[in-house]
Chains A and B, each alone.
Chain A
Amino acid sequence: MTKNIDITLKIWRQKNADVKGGFETYHASNISIDMSFLEMIDVVNEQLTLDGKDPIAFDHDCREGICGMCGAVVNGRAHGPEKGTTLCQLHMRHFSSGDTIVIEPWRAKAFPIIKDLAVDRSAFDQIIVAGGYISVNTGGAPDANAIPISQEIAEKAMDAAACIGCGACVASCPNASAMLFTGAKISQFALLPQGRPEAALRALAMVRKMDELCFGNCGNERECEVECPKEISISNIARMNREFFKAGLGSAVM
């Protein structure tokens, strides 16, 4: 049942952050539809290498949709056309022979391009440094069952915690907002009793850091939710806003 397809690729090539980039066209023939999208790029890269050309740089690691390292805008959509799917889990069976596929890096001021499709997402780490944790040192934690947490709350927290930090939300937002990413982390901890003591401080610090790093504001376009490979809900943004306003009003942390 194996089927092969021939496709045309228009891929963004850029040597580094300081020079201008542009699209280059490549033809990939005999691509098995069982290949993942990244395996297809591997095949193109093997040929480029043998032809004495510079292979396409792209970030990737686990190739099973969980590390969040891969990602590119494919035909205008972050991680390509499949819902709830990272680029590494997108398979070529979703394309047809004769297709032209346009591949670009994430584009956001806060994510400078390193080379070709690889970008620098360390701004996400900085948002977490600002407060994306519960301040507990190793040792001395009470018994794990000391505080019961309802299954519903635990599941909601898990929904938010499933974020892989890939940056698709930023790349798909017209304002390059990082609110889905930030909202998911703030929500995870705000929902759990362990995270409540610092909830106000956390919301203020993370939101301020996000603004400082040149991420835009949420305009309720909901593109992020649609493109998120882990289908993180924008209700997390609403929860973040509530936490943020509550924190702003509460005198304890003002």
Chain B
Amino acid sequence: MQLDAKIPSGPLSDKWDKHRFELKLVNPANKRKYNIIVVGTGLAGGSAAASLAELGYYVKNFCVQDSPRRAHSIAAQGGINAAKNYQNDGDSIWRLFYDTIKGGDFRAREANVHRLAQVSNHIIDHCVAQGIPFAREYGGLLSNRSFGGAQVSRTFYARGQTGQQLLLGAYSALMRQVAAGLVTLFPRREMLDLVVINGQARGIVVRNMITGEIESHAADAVVMCTGGYANVFYLSTNAMASNVSATFRAYKKGAFFANPCYTQIHPTCIPVHGTYQSKLTLMSESLRNDGRVWVPKTPGDKRPPNQIPESERDYYLENKYPSFGNLVPRDVASRNAKAQCDLGKGVGETGFAVYLDFKDAIKRDGKDVIAQKYGNLFQMYEKITASNPYEAPMMIYPASHYVMGGLWVDYNLMSNLPGLFVMGEANFSDHGANRLGASALMQGLADGYFVIPYTIGGYLVGMDRPEVTTDHPAFKDAVHYVTERINKLLSINGKRTVDDIHRQLGHILWEYCGMSRSEEGLLKARKLIQELRGEFWENALVPGSSEDFNQSLERAGRVADFLEFAELLVIDAFERKESCGAHFNDAYQTEENEAKRDDENFCHVAAWEYKGDDTAPELHKEPLVFENVELTQRSYK
């Protein structure tokens, strides 16, 4: 099967305008007749639900939290990119496009990424109009900073809480549509299945997390904005409830899962400090603008950092990458941190940490300036570690943070299942094999505010659909399947807690499918995952009942899906016999230990089709065609 990305013809910069004109419009009077389900209320889901309702569609919006304001987009700290060029420093739509394509190591579609760069400017305009208090200069104009591997200052920010402010903006817009009666909210609902009728996505089955009731909802289209699966590693910077279940259920109903092996390990997180640890905390990489990363030159040097003289410190990023220094992309920074620790130069109690030092920045700019930029991050660091970063350098280590893989979508953000749209982190689309800093917020809002409002109309009037209600047998089947599975989870009655099994899964993936991978390790991981999955269904202990507020049951369902999905992740990593971006296979590296792509054989999207629980998934390749940029070896020297 040849996947059709439906990329419009014509010059790159004209594609989106041309496509918008060619897409059919829905008569304004008819929009109210269409029901749209939006799952998730993060930046993508919240902005989509609000914008679709503004157009007049009737929207049902679901989330697992108690309020749409709490989706994990809220935790994004650093900022949002846009090609405004307010700083007159050489930025442009083309440069943002190029940086994003290059940052993703040439594994994303040109057309999607260019559109993202084009709409980025509208996002900032809209967010300011919504009352988002972005940082400003004394003259009253918006402030920018350079961020995560960019050589221009294109990042807009609201202290260290940009995700929170953007999400609350989308939430405000959403609540305005609730007031208008066009959005109905369904909080504390977890999507447990996608309903496909005549090959089209027509609804979902959810569990009411308070009463345990299984509910069915039918619609003309389903928009999934259910986030990423970084929690497959157990420890990650994701929120505790972030999971793969919704997208994995859709995969099992026929949607293709693309590039699952592209998982980003973020370089600046607070290091792990105990087995009880439930999650990892990110320290925004904006800190790398002023902080200098170093380790002692001598392996095993256990002196406190302030007693290690300058001459005995190795500022390894600055030394190795003179032009980008501490601002190299995330994958490069993470791998280098691991390499230093593997050499025995790691610091802290565990030896799995490197220093991020603000001494020179404080000397240069003064404590007040640094406090104004990073005050809340320093405070958060001190709360967690009881160490004061104004006085002693921070300790950081990479952690699982974001996933570039997700459900396959075409240029319209529609999956291979007609009527199923996938946006935000849940899709695979714009970041290639590695996401640049401050680009996730941009993509989530681009998808929700500026792409789906156009493309969904084209689908709704472009394709016939039969009338469907939740009485359709496909809904009954889904409810039956979901109920059976819940009953099965509750009846295992084994001896290990779900968290304990999840922790072990995380260890397997971190060890064999984390920052670097090898064929031997991946084969081993696959076997270990299969064994652990077997153990889960025989020995997991899930207390409580199905008709209750049962958080253990919620987690059990998610971990059961992670145990299946983890194998797909490993299979994809095994099949991609090259290194690119965040996917680093030891066997494929340049002499300078950078990821070495194989453009001849792997310049494609790997989209996996579910073939049954006991059958290997089938790989479909979407070739990536580059007509506007030249594929180069990434170099940040």
Contact pick for A125, options B54, B185, B500, CB 8 Å: B185
Contact pick for A154, options B125, B134, B179, CB 8 Å: B134
Contact pick for B126, options A42, A66, A91, A136, CB 8 Å: A136
The CA of A122 and the CA of B178, in the complex, are separated in Å by: 13
| Shortest distance between the CB of A158 and any CB in chain B (Å) | 4
> B158 to A158, Cβ gap below 8 A?
yes
B70 at the interface (CB under 8 A from A): yes
> A122 to B210, Cβ gap below 8 A?
no
Contact pick for B130, options A34, A136, A148, CB 8 Å: A136
A69 at the interface (CB under 8 A from B): yes
Provide the B335-351 mask, 1 if CB < 8 A to any CB of A, else 0.
00000000000000100
A contact residues around B386 at 8 Å (CB): 91, 93
> B65 to A55, Cβ gap below 8 A?
no
B128 at the interface (CB under 8 A from A): yes
| Shortest distance between the CB of A99 and any CB in chain B (Å) | 18
Q: A125-B69, A138-B453 are in contact. List 12 more A-B contacts (CB 8 A).
A: A35-B276, A57-B551, A62-B70, A63-B239, A91-B386, A121-B66, A128-B171, A129-B178, A138-B450, A149-B140, A189-B131, A194-B129
In chain A, what residue has the closest Cβ to B141?
Answer: A145
A214 at the interface (CB under 8 A from B): no
| Shortest distance between the CB of A111 and any CB in chain B (Å) | 10
The CA of A2 and the CA of B350, in the complex, are separated in Å by: 12
| Shortest distance between the CB of A98 and any CB in chain B (Å) | 20
A contact residues around B128 at 8 Å (CB): 141, 144, 147, 194
> B165 to A141, Cβ gap below 8 A?
no
> B126 to A54, Cβ gap below 8 A?
no
A60 at the interface (CB under 8 A from B): yes
A contact residues around B487 at 8 Å (CB): none
> A61 to B240, Cβ gap below 8 A?
yes
B549 at the interface (CB under 8 A from A): yes
A contact residues around B65 at 8 Å (CB): 61, 67, 69
Chain A residue total in the interface (Cβ 8 A): 79
Q: Which 7 A-B residue pairings sit nearest by Cβ, starting from the closest? A: A148-B140, A133-B172, A141-B129, A158-B133, A157-B133, A141-B125, A144-B128
The CA of A40 and the CA of B78, in the complex, are separated in Å by: 29
A150 at the interface (CB under 8 A from B): yes
Contact pick for A134, options B51, B130, B383, CB 8 Å: B130
User: Using a CB-CB cutoff of 8 Å, which residues 109-164 of chain B contact chain A?
Assistant: 122, 124-142, 158-159, 161, 163-164
> A158 to B70, Cβ gap below 8 A?
no
Contacts A69-B65, A124-B67, A188-B131; is A34 near B273 (CB within 8 Å)?
yes
| Shortest distance between the CB of B144 and any CB in chain A (Å) | 11
> A60 to B129, Cβ gap below 8 A?
no
B81 at the interface (CB under 8 A from A): no
User: Using a CB-CB cutoff of 8 Å, which residues 43-96 of chain A contact chain B?
Assistant: 43, 46, 49-50, 52-55, 57, 59-69, 82, 84-85, 89, 91, 93
> A122 to B549, Cβ gap below 8 A?
no
Contact pick for B66, options A34, A69, A142, A188, CB 8 Å: A69
> B274 to A34, Cβ gap below 8 A?
yes
In chain B, what residue has the closest Cβ to A134?
Answer: B131
Contact pick for B239, options A62, A115, A162, CB 8 Å: A62
A-B contact pairs, 28 of them (CB 8 A): A2-B274, A49-B497, A49-B552, A57-B549, A62-B75, A62-B240, A64-B380, A65-B380, A66-B163, A67-B74, A68-B70, A91-B384, A122-B66, A125-B178, A129-B176, A134-B129, A136-B173, A138-B126, A138-B450, A141-B125, A145-B141, A147-B128, A151-B136, A158-B159, A158-B165, A161-B132, A194-B130, A194-B131
> A46 to B175, Cβ gap below 8 A?
no
| Shortest distance between the CB of A233 and any CB in chain B (Å) | 15
- Which of B197-205, B251-259, B277-285, B598-606 makes up part of the contact surface? B277-285
B contact residues around A133 at 8 Å (CB): 130, 172-173, 175-176
The CA of A161 and the CA of B169, in the complex, are separated in Å by: 10
In chain A, what residue has the closest Cβ to B241?
Answer: A61
> A69 to B70, Cβ gap below 8 A?
yes
* Residues of chain B whose beta carbon lies under 8 Å from any beta carbon of chain A: 47, 50-51, 54, 65-70, 72, 74-75, 84, 86, 122, 124-142, 158-159, 161, 163-165, 168, 171-173, 175-176, 178-179, 185, 187, 210, 237, 239-241, 273-274, 276-279, 281-282, 349, 379-380, 383-384, 386, 449-450, 453, 495, 497, 499-500, 541, 543-544, 548-549, 551-552
User: Using a CB-CB cutoff of 8 Å, which residues 179-200 of chain A contact chain B?
Assistant: 188-189, 192, 194-195
> A142 to B125, Cβ gap below 8 A?
yes
Contact pick for B75, options A67, A124, A151, CB 8 Å: A67
A contact residues around B500 at 8 Å (CB): 46
In chain A, what residue has the closest Cβ to B129?
Answer: A141
> A139 to B122, Cβ gap below 8 A?
yes
The CA of A135 and the CA of B129, in the complex, are separated in Å by: 9
> A188 to B133, Cβ gap below 8 A?
yes
> B176 to A67, Cβ gap below 8 A?
no
The CA of A82 and the CA of B379, in the complex, are separated in Å by: 13
> A49 to B124, Cβ gap below 8 A?
no
In chain B, what residue has the closest Cβ to A145?
Answer: B141
Contacts A136-B130, A194-B131; is A114 near B172 (CB within 8 Å)?
no
> A138 to B51, Cβ gap below 8 A?
yes
The CA of A42 and the CA of B551, in the complex, are separated in Å by: 12
A16 at the interface (CB under 8 A from B): yes
A143 at the interface (CB under 8 A from B): yes
The CA of A151 and the CA of B138, in the complex, are separated in Å by: 5
> B278 to A125, Cβ gap below 8 A?
no
> B140 to A137, Cβ gap below 8 A?
no
Contacts A138-B54, A148-B141; is A63 near B278 (CB within 8 Å)?
yes
| Shortest distance between the CB of B125 and any CB in chain A (Å) | 4
The CA of A250 and the CA of B418, in the complex, are separated in Å by: 53
In chain A, what residue has the closest Cβ to B51?
Answer: A138
Contact pick for A161, options B50, B84, B168, B173, CB 8 Å: B168
> A165 to B69, Cβ gap below 8 A?
yes
A39 at the interface (CB under 8 A from B): yes
B contact residues around A128 at 8 Å (CB): 69, 171-172, 175
Q: Which of A2, A54, A64, A85 has the most CB of B within 10 A?
A: A64
The CA of A120 and the CA of B131, in the complex, are separated in Å by: 28
A130 at the interface (CB under 8 A from B): yes
B contact residues around A149 at 8 Å (CB): 136, 140
Contacts A59-B66, A114-B210, A148-B139; is A39 near B276 (CB within 8 Å)?
yes
